[in-house]
Amino acid sequence: MFRRISFSTCLLGITVFIGGCGRPSADSQPAAASGGETDEQDAAQGDAATKPDGETASPADGRAPDSDSPTASVGETPKDAGPPEGASDVHEISLIGLSAQFPPLGPLPDAPVPADNPLTDAKVALGRLLFFDSRLSGDAGTSCASCHDPRLGWGDGQAVSRGYAGTQHWRNSQTTVNSAFLTKLFWAGEVPSLEVQAKSAITGNLAGNGDPAMIEERLAQIPEYVKQFRQAFGVSPPTFLHVLKAIASFERAELISRDSPFDAFLAGDTEALSAEAQQGLKLFQGKARCIVCHNGPLMSDEDYHFLDVPQQAVFDSDPLRQVSLRYQHFIRGVPEDVYRAADGDLGLYYTTKRDTDRGRFRTPPLRYLEYTAPYMHNGVLATIEDVIDFYDQGGGDDPNQSDLIQPLNLTEDEKFALAEFLYALSGDEIRIPVPELPEYQAIEFDETEPAAE
């Protein structure tokens, strides 16, 4: 039986001031709908994120398990529990009560599956091939795996991602592991589902730059794909819509990580976490304040925050990345004065055009963290230890930085313990060998068939 973690033995009576705690802050206000715009806004505005075939976004899947679940959640508190005894108001909260204000950490549930794209073995097998097939891109040189490499944490290992041939990207390539649980994909949360994300990445000018009609023609010229699309979807010839559904099915079925030491700890193995990692868990939910944004089973509130991370130096020296950044400003329709003055990624502002949303990005999940360096939307922090140092010093110095970010005053031992816990959020690497892809075949035309008039 899993033993609940209690902070009363080591943190009782210690208090912190939480600005705005207990009420919505500017960071927690819902963003305006993105209108289907994508983070890969190298795709044509309005087209790149059109939902395929009336697809409906899945509900958020970061909920805690039911009360009768055999596994436990860490830091769970009864919903009707009042503020900690001795707290004078909602601002002064003991560290015991901090985690009680947010969805508890817990095991991942099953990945949500949309009603219009149920999982089947045939779809998953087809999606696995398509994920590695560069013929979905404009010049047949870029596949999904080019930027989401299983050897590199299903990202690309670079601070800022590679781009389509002749370009360079402007953001860090996030891992696709556990992306099935997200309801806001890309760094600024512009799309609601894996299917729409796949469309944006495949067609985006700085990513795949693929044309759906050309992709369909290529696939129709590959007999094995014609066969597999018929088996998976009952369609012939292959369609672009079903390309998206197959890739999404593969990601939902095979790119899930839930075998970390922390998961074993949640399941009742009290020795799965070292003493340092268990101390790090307490810090995560208390003094280090990670739980404020990294909560729930996925360890993300899926909200948007301005952290004032350092600027990525590559944008000062790489002309192609400067071109890409200005291109984002232009195609997202920012006002001319913003276009001319902006020297960095504007984040959620591209979608909402609200000044308060400049530089705000969606909280990334923390599972599989060990394999996904470097970190932040611009990859400016190289290691988990660098991330801890950034937050410990209170983030950046911009006065508009989120009021959730405060100096932590962690000791070196506490930083080490917190890092040990963060490393314990990663299980075995998900490694999939590059599959052998089916080949083109020339079509034999029936010369007896009368020509069209």
CATH of the domain at 163: 1.10.760.10
Residue 340's pLDDT is: 87
In whole numbers, what is the pLDDT of the chain averaged over residues? 82
For residues 262 and 248, state if they share a domain: no
Residue 46's pLDDT is: 38
Tell me how far apart the alpha carbons of residues 18 and 155 are, in angstroms, rounded to a whole number.
Answer: 34
Tell me how far apart the alpha carbons of residues 377 and 393 are, in angstroms, rounded to a whole number.
Answer: 19
Tell me how far apart the alpha carbons of residues 442 and 445 are, in angstroms, rounded to a whole number.
Answer: 9
**Alpha-carbon dihedral angle through residues 191, 195, 198, 203, given to the nearest 10 degrees:** -80
For residues 143 and 246, state if they share a domain: yes
**Structural domain count, the chain:** 2
Residue 208 has pLDDT above 80, yes or no: yes
The helices-and-strands tally (H runs, E runs) of the chain is 15, 4
Tell me how far apart the alpha carbons of residues 300 and 179 are, in angstroms, rounded to a whole number.
Answer: 11
What mean pLDDT comes out for the span 33-39? 35
What mean pLDDT comes out for the span 342-358? 93
Residue 17 has pLDDT above 90, yes or no: no
For residues 399 and 280, state if they share a domain: yes
Answer whether residue 62 is part of any domain.
Answer: no
DSSP 88: -
For residues 194 and 309, state if they share a domain: no
Answer whether residue 56 is part of any domain.
Answer: no
* pLDDT band per the 50, 70, 90 thresholds, residue 37: very low
Cα separations in angstroms, 192 against 32, 50, 62, 116, 415: 13, 11, 14, 14, 35
Show which of 204, 221, 254 is a domain's final residue: 254
For residues 246 and 276, state if they share a domain: no
Domain of residue 399, residue span:
8-32+76-108+258-423
For residues 317 and 221, state if they share a domain: no
For residues 269 and 409, state if they share a domain: yes
For residues 303 and 381, state if they share a domain: yes
Could you tell me which of 340, 360, 338 has the C-alpha nearest to residue 349? 360
* pLDDT band per the 50, 70, 90 thresholds, residue 450: low
Helix (H) or strand (E) holding 304: strand 304-306
Residue 61 has pLDDT above 50, yes or no: no
For residues 224 and 298, state if they share a domain: no
Dump pLDDT digits (tens) for 276-324.
999 999 999 999 999 999 999 999 999 999 999 999 999 999 999 999 9
Tell me how far apart the alpha carbons of residues 140 and 145 are, in angstroms, rounded to a whole number.
Answer: 13
Contact call for residues 138 and 206 (beta carbons, < 8 A)? no
For residues 88 and 200, state if they share a domain: no
pTM for the model stands at: 0.80
Dump pLDDT digits (tens) for 134-165.
999 999 999 999 999 999 999 999 999 999 99
What mean pLDDT comes out for the span 379-405? 96
In angstroms, the first-to-last Cα distance of the chain is: 77
What mean pLDDT comes out for the span 178-185? 98
What mean pLDDT comes out for the span 7-13? 29
* pLDDT band per the 50, 70, 90 thresholds, residue 4: very low
Q: Which residue has the higher pLDDT, 252 or 47?
A: 252
Contact call for residues 225 and 438 (beta carbons, < 8 A)? yes
For residues 281 and 412, state if they share a domain: yes
